[in-house]
């Protein structure tokens, strides 16, 4: 990777991925954004930025030509619950947008990383230690676009030789950019409530297990996969990856080790709960470990310690700035 374009650079993954890529690579790492979601602060100051709306093929091609891009990270997406509310827009971004990226990659010669998700799985998929190669029959628009995206990305590799690679991310937890409209968002929101000294009202029922991952591991997965030796890759779109499997009670208990008075109640959101119930309890990520040496660094306890520390530092410095 020399020159890199990140589409969706101001989103939950893009914010941290763009900065990490700029730390690691000396070429241009271009922060692609849409009007209304402009890069700010370090993201704006540390490198070039360009308006790249994934639904506009010309804007993607212009940025690729101008900055001589050889690798595109395509992070534009609506998360699962929002995609159920706006299925047409989810398709336009997830499928039409991906098609635009792949066409530019085919004609101008770029590698493409597009995140997939645990959302590719559905009610008929084996729930525990879900294998790499198994039934993908989601009944959500998010899942449909992610399965379609996996198939289309593999097609462009097989048919045109475009170097497409992807991982199925679980719920991603970060103290920097918040998610929005996802089924696993509760696992981020719970830390904000804990640090603010509030009770957390959980929209997902106790006993609902899903895979989760701390953002630094997700960023490292995306970069390591794109750096992996292609001759070792038996799979491409997309690899199961995971770091932990937990339900709300387990996350709550890990927070209570640091904040004993933290409390949680439940007000289950039927839309998110139905989505969560259709997803695996836990993934088997053996193929990623074998084919490109995937290994997470953070387990639940390590993640909770760092989330609570970093979030309280950030929220108190924001409160100080507001006062001055």
Q: Which stretch binds ligand SER (CB under 6 A): 26-34, 41-49, 111-119, 155-163?
A: 111-119
List, by residue number, the catalytic residues.
Answer: 142
Q: Which of 32, 182, 248, 296 binds ligand SER (CB under 6 A)?
A: 182
Radius of gyration, alpha carbons of the chain = 19
- From the CB of residue 88, how many other CB atoms can be counted at a distance below 10 Å? 8
Q: Is the dihedral of CA 279, 111, 8, 56 positive or negative?
A: negative
Which tokens is 148 given?
């379609």
Query: Binding to ligand SER by residue 190, rule CB under 6 A?
Result: no
Indicate the residue among 32 and 171 with the shorter CB distance to ligand SER.
Answer: 171
Residues 6+ apart with CB under 8 A from 25: 1, 2, 4
**Residue 183 lies near ligand SER (rule: CB under 6 A):** yes
Residue-level length of the chain: 324
Q: Point out which span in 156-164, 176-184, 289-297, 316-324 binds ligand SER (CB under 6 A).
A: 176-184
Query: 168 vs 235, which CB is nearer to ligand SER?
Result: 168
Task: Name the strand (E) or helix (H) holding 246.
Answer: strand 244-246
For ligand SER, give the closer residue by CB, 59 or 80. Answer: 80
Distance CA 47, CA 212 (A): 30
Binding residues for ligand SER restricted to 120-149, rule: CB under 6 A: 142
Helices (H), ranges, the chain: 14-24, 41-45, 57-66, 80-85, 87-91, 97-108, 141-160, 186-196, 215-227, 248-256, 270-278, 286-292, 300-323
CB of 229 to ligand SER, least distance (A): 27
- CB of residue 240 vs ligand SER: minimum separation in angstroms? 12
Q: Which residues within the stretch 30-89 sit at the binding site for ligand SER (CB under 6 A)?
A: 79-80
Examine residue 118 and tell whether it contacts ligand SER (CB under 6 A).
yes
Chain contacts with ligand SER (rule: CB under 6 A): 79-80, 117-119, 142, 169, 171, 182-184
């Amino acid at each position: 990777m020399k020159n890199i374009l990140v589409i969706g650079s101001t989103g939950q993954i893009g914010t941290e991925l763009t900065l990490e890529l700029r730390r690691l690579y000396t070429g241009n790492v271009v922060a692609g954004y849409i009007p209304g979601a402009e890069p700010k602060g370090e993201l704006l100051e540390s490198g070039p930025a360009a308006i790249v709306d994934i639904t506009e093929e010309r804007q993607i091609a212009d940025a690729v030509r101008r900055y001589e891009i050889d690798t595109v990270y395509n992070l534009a997406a609506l998360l699962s619950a929002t995609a159920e509310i706006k299925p047409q827009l989810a398709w336009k971004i997830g499928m039409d947008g991906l098609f635009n990226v792949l066409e530019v990659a085919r004609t101008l010669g770029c590698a493409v990383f597009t995140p997939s998700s645990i959302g590719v799985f559905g009610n008929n998929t084996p729930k525990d230690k879900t294998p790499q190669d198994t039934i993908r029959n989601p009944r959500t628009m998010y899942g449909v676009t992610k399965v379609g995206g996996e198939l289309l990305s593999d097609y462009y590799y097989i048919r045109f030789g475009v170097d497409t690679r992807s991982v199925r991310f679980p719920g991603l937890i970060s103290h920097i950019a918040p998610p929005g409209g996802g089924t696993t968002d509760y696992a981020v929101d719970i830390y904000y409530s804990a640090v603010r000294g509030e009770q957390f009202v959980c929209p997902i029922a106790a006993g609902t297990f899903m895979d989760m991952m701390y953002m630094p591991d997700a960023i490292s997965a995306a970069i390591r996969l794109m750096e992996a030796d292609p001759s070792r890759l038996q799979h491409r779109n997309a690899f199961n990856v995971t770091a932990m499997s937990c339900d709300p009670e387990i996350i709550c208990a890990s927070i209570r080790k640091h904040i004993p008075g933290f409390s949680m109640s439940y007000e289950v959101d039927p839309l998110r709960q139905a989505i969560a119930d259709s997803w695996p309890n836990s993934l088997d990520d053996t193929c990623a470990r074998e084919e490109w040496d995937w290994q997470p660094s953070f387990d639940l306890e390590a993640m909770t310690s760092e989330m609570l520390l970093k979030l309280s530092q950030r929220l108190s410095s924001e409160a100080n700035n507001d006062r001055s």
